[in-house]
Amino acid sequence: MLLLRWGLFLIFFSVVLAERSIYSTHDPRHSHDLETDTTYSLNVSSCPGYTVTSVDESNTGLIAKLDIAGAACNAFGRDYTNLTVEVVYESQNRLHVHIYDTENSQFTIPETVISRPPKPSDSFTDSSDLVFNYDSSPFAFWITRRSDPAAVPLFDTRLSSLPPTPIPPVMEGDPSTALDGFPLVFEDQYLQLTSSLPLGTNIYGLGEAVSSSGFRRDVGTNGGIGTIQTMWNRDDPDPVDENMYGSHPIYLEHRYNETTQKSQSHGVILLSSAGSDILLLTPPSSPVSLVQYRLIGGTLDFYFFSGPTSQQVIEQYGVMIGLPTWQPMFGFGFHLCRWGFPNLTVTRDQVIRMREANIPLEGKSY
Ligand SMILES: *[C@@H]1O[C@H](CO)[C@@H](O)[C@H](O)[C@H]1NC(C)=O
Ligand SMILES: *[C@@H]1O[C@H](CO)[C@@H](O)[C@H](O)[C@H]1NC(C)=O
Ligand SMILES: *[C@@H]1O[C@H](CO)[C@@H](O)[C@H](O)[C@H]1NC(C)=O
Ligand SMILES: *[C@@H]1O[C@H](CO)[C@@H](O)[C@H](O)[C@H]1NC(C)=O
């Protein structure tokens, strides 16, 4: 099942690459795109990461300028040389971190499709429950709770917080789960960002999925193998551990602190429509689990929700993404639906037979 899913993704991935490369070399370890005269290394281990060159702080957050920290690696696309990191403390409980190409040529979801909350008129930089921390060289960031600065960060992209690389395939027989490196990778056709997570932590979400591990996702501990959640809508009703109808790249993490004996939840969404894989893995003997985002386009647009209860995380998410649309009254009634009714006559006959049999029916679709 995993192989099948990953196979499908690879097929898709190669189609995308093939579109850009008219001819490629026969060496399977890298491919050459004659159109752009770029050789892709197909391996992120030599990706240099980025360095902060300037930071502009304001009363709503900061804007940092980043330059690539070495020669482009062109792993699966062409590296952007200049990035911008925009951090906005949008409310007491919502922090927005957007990493984008300074030239703004990557796709982002238009406001007409998903409208974002307006810029804050108050300053939350000193009062937000969440704190944005960063290193300049290489650029890495981590998110902490203001109320609990000593605790393990909620999200942490520092190399020092992640296991050493390269790591051979974490899922047996699936070469795509090799972890060649954890630098920030920002290319036109490949983006990668990795955060460490507490070993075996509780992750919920990353839908739409029928998850074989239940609501709690498999992060690769306690006999689990980990998760590759593909975000790519494909109108498949009930595959297990695969992508389905919708993409909801948000997760809720629930943590229990043994010292304080308190539980707290927070949420993380990557607001992107790009085809992507979100991996939850625990490499062998690693002291941490990790979440890795791999995108084939777009930007790295994260929102963090501070909770601290699970219900509050979902409420905070609703405030940001928008609440469900109003439903028609009949939508709450008795509904009959089956895929494959060929025409209106057959559908109407069905309604007539339901009435004849005295079965209540308020809605019918096909
Ligand atoms: C990527 O390159 C590194 C360094 O050369 C190597 O150790 C690793 O095995 C490579 N990964 C794959 C999947 O070939
Ligand atoms: C982009 O990055 C390059 C390479 O580091 C640097 O020389 C250049 O000044 C940067 N451009 C901008 C607009 O920051
Ligand atoms: C648990 O909470 C205490 C007190 O806030 C903190 O010092 C500690 O680092 C926390 N533990 C973890 C694993 O985050
Ligand atoms: C509707 O579909 C049924 C079943 O395929 C067929 O027998 C019937 O001729 C169709 N009616 C019309 C109006 O197309």
The model's pLDDT over 192-234, given as tens digits with 9 standing for 90+, comes to 999 999 999 999 999 999 999 999 999 999 999 999 999 999 9
Q: Which of 131-135, 241-245, 341-345 reaches the highest mean pLDDT?
A: 131-135
At residue 278, φ and ψ (nearest 5 deg) are: -115, 115
Mean pLDDT of 64-93: 98
- pLDDT over 90 percentage in the chain: 83
Ligand 3 site-directed mutation target among 142, 146, 199, 257, most atoms within 8 Å of CB? 257
- pLDDT bin (cut points 50, 70, 90) of residue 25 is very low
Q: With a threshold of 0.85, does the pTM exceed it? A: yes
At residue 19, φ and ψ (nearest 5 deg) are: -55, -35
Q: Which of 203, 209, 248 is nearest to 221 (CA)?
A: 203
Which ligand does the CA of 79 lie closest to? 2
Ligand 4 site-directed mutation target among 341, 343, 344, 349, most atoms within 8 Å of CB? 343
256-288 pLDDT, tens digit each: 999 999 999 999 999 999 999 999 999 999 999
Q: Which residue has the higher pLDDT, 10 or 183?
A: 183
Residue 12 pLDDT exceeds 70: no
Using CA positions, which residue lies closest to atom 7 of ligand 1? 166
**Domain annotation for the chain: domains and CATH numbers:** 2-321 (2.60.40.1760), 329-365 (no CATH)
| Arithmetic mean of pLDDT over the chain | 91
- Cα-to-chain-centroid distance, residue 62: 23
What's the 140 CA to ligand 1 centre distance in angstroms?
23
Q: Which atom of ligand 2 is nearest to the CA of 53?
A: 14
In eight-state DSSP terms, residue 245 is S
Alpha-carbon span 128 to 295, nearest angstrom: 29
Residue 94 pLDDT exceeds 60: yes
- CB of residue 327 inside a 6 A radius of ligand 3: no
- pLDDT over 70 percentage in the chain: 92
Alpha-carbon span 168 to 170, nearest angstrom: 6
Which ligand does the CA of 50 lie closest to? 2
End-to-end CA distance of the chain: 30
Q: Which two tokens stand for residue 47?
A: 């990706």
Residue 2 pLDDT exceeds 50: no
Cis omega (within 30 of 0) on the bond before 166? yes
Ligand 2 site-directed mutation target among 53, 65, 137, most atoms within 8 Å of CB? 53
Cβ neighbours for 73, distance < 8 A, ≥ 6 positions apart? 41, 43, 44, 46, 47, 48, 79, 185
103-127 pLDDT, tens digit each: 999 999 999 999 999 999 999 999 9
Q: DSSP readout, 313-344? A: HHHHHHHHH-PPPP--GGGGS-EEE-TT--SH
Q: Which whole-number Å values give the CA distances from 288 to 132, 160, 169, in the listed order?
A: 21, 11, 17
What's the 14 CA to ligand 1 centre distance in angstroms?
19
Residue 27 pLDDT exceeds 70: no
Alpha-carbon span 79 to 48, nearest angstrom: 10
- pLDDT bin (cut points 50, 70, 90) of residue 28 is low
Number of H helices, E strands in the chain: 3, 20
- CB of residue 43 inside a 6 A radius of ligand 1: yes
